[in-house]
Amino acid sequence: MDRFPRKKTRQIMVGTVPVGGDAPVTVQSMTTTKTADVEGTLAQIYALKAAGADIVRCTCNEREAAEGLARIVPRSPVPIVADIHFHVEMALAAIEAGVHCLRLNPGNLRKPEEVKLVARECKDRGIPVRIGVNGGSLDKRLYDKYGGATPEALVESAQIELALFAEVGFDDVKISVKASRVPVMVEAYRQLSELVDHPLHLGLTEAGPPPSGTIKGTAGIATLLLEGIGDTIRYSLTTDPVEEAKAGRTLLEALGRRERRNVDLIACPSCGRAEIDVYRVAQEAQVALESRSIPLQVAVMGCVVNGPGEARSADLGIAAGKHRGHLFIRGEIVRVVPEDEMVAALVEEAEKLVKEGFEARLAAADKGAAQEAEADRLALLDARGADANRSEALVELINRRLGSGGDGEGSRAGPGRASGVE
């Protein structure tokens, strides 16, 4: 059960996708192609959708980009948000192109009358707006007032923009207050969440390349989601945006904010007990299962001593013995397969589980598989146990040499004292 229930926000519609309220938390990303390149941009949008993106943002920074949007929007598999920075004309052109949402940066589009003009147009067309506050482009007046891009400065920027929208009766809004430092970003969203009921778009701006960028983004986004804050998310990574969508979807599934739609592969970190190259087998299994969109938790364990028990909560898994793998379903051994068939057996069983269900696959377990697996496990324990038995013999020898006295005197008596030499 969540310690912090998700905060109930008002709901807006970005095209056909609900954001806020009781709608699932959505994943967003942004294309890196030139928007004027219609076919290239559409190809990236389709790849983003396949990776888990629910909404995609495209830049609208010039006439050719606006013309591209007019051709992209009707063919897009997901709602399109137009990214607007300095030019009110681009915002109006994007509206004409039929986009499903605008992102306005208050630090860049600053003239109140222009902001209100866009708000009126969006109100008339039923197009929502994201107020996209960014620590890197904060209005200089607020920067000077607060001595930097502080949480308070980011929140005030959003409030100023909201007040302009309110003047024209427009409140179909979601808000982001992004910063490049995790503590600043988290605190800004916490403060904003206390002040407004608009849906919040979470993100750490300029996070950088993976893996550090992914870690920083996760630190901020996951912290807020676990506190019940946030309705839609974006990882801002210096890499192929498909990786952003994958990261977002994976995070939401890991936190239980979205149903699993693809494999969740867990694996031991490997150790001296491992009988296989755990890294290689886990990677091969990940690639094979991901390509099939199998919504199961699958385990790859390096040894049969603790593997099935440690991964008992997994839907399916395999643990390695001497040149063999023990295939298990929710901790129950169902097959023993040769080492070179482990990944293939895992994929085959995963597909059958999805098609037939757990009860049927457990009923179809190989007769004697559990006993065969137990024999392997005991044999491995015996082999490892030789070292353990020798260890106990060494402990006994140490005790004899140091003396058996329970008061510790033996450990203080050196060779000289034992022979009576002072």
The pLDDT score that the predictor gives to residue 191 is: 98
State which amino acid sits at residue 361.
R
Report, as an integer, the average pLDDT of 148-165: 96
370-418: pLDDT as tens digits: 888 788 777 766 655 544 445 666 777 788 888 755 454 444 444 444 3
Handedness of CA 369, 371, 373, 376 (dihedral sign): negative
Residue 2: pLDDT above 70? no
pLDDT value at residue 417: 40
Mean pLDDT of the chain: 89
Burial class of residue 116, CB neighbours in 10 A (0-12, 13-18, 19+): middle
Spatial strand order of the sheet with 324-329 comes to 264-267, 297-301, 316-321, 324-329, 332-338
* pLDDT score, position 383: 56
pLDDT tens string 281-337:
889 999 999 888 899 999 998 876 666 666 778 999 998 877 788 899 998 999 999
Q: At what angle do helices 38-51 and 241-254 cross, to 10 degrees?
A: 20
Highest mean pLDDT among 135-144, 180-189, 275-284 belongs to 180-189
- The amino acid that residue 46 corresponds to is Y
In this structure, of 113-117, 210-214, 286-290, the range with the lowest mean pLDDT score is 286-290
Q: Give phi and psi for 273, each to the nearest 5.
A: -80, -15
User: 222, 188 in Cβ contact below 8 A?
Assistant: no
pLDDT of residue 312: 77
Instruction: Check residue 388 and give its pLDDT.
Output: 46
At residue 273, the pLDDT reads: 63
| Global pTM value | 0.82
Q: How far apart (Å, rounded) are the C-alpha atoms in residues 209 and 232?
A: 21
3 state SS of 278: helix
293: left (phi over 0), alpha (psi -120 to 50) or beta: left
Half-sphere exposure of 45 (CA within 13 A, CB side): 24
pLDDT score, position 223: 98
- pLDDT in the model for residue 143: 93
Q: What is the percent of the chain where pLDDT is above 90?
A: 69
Task: Tell me what pLDDT residue 392 has.
Answer: 62
Measure the CA–CA gap between 43 and 240, rounded to whole angstroms.
13
Residue 299 phi, psi dihedral angles, 5° rounding? -115, 140
Yes or no: say if 78 and 49 are a contact pair by the CB < 8 Å rule: yes
* Dihedral sign for Cα atoms in the order 291, 294, 295, 297: negative
pLDDT tens track for 218-249: 999 999 999 999 999 999 999 999 999 999 99
Q: Rounded to an integer, what distance in angstroms lies between the CA atom of residue 81 and that of residue 103?
A: 7
Structural domains of the chain ordered from first start:
12-254 (3.20.20.20), 264-372 (3.30.413.10)
Burial annotation 318-330 (CB, 10 A radius, 16+ → b, else e) = bbbbeebbbbbbb
Q: Is-cis flag, bond preceding 211, omega within 30?
A: yes
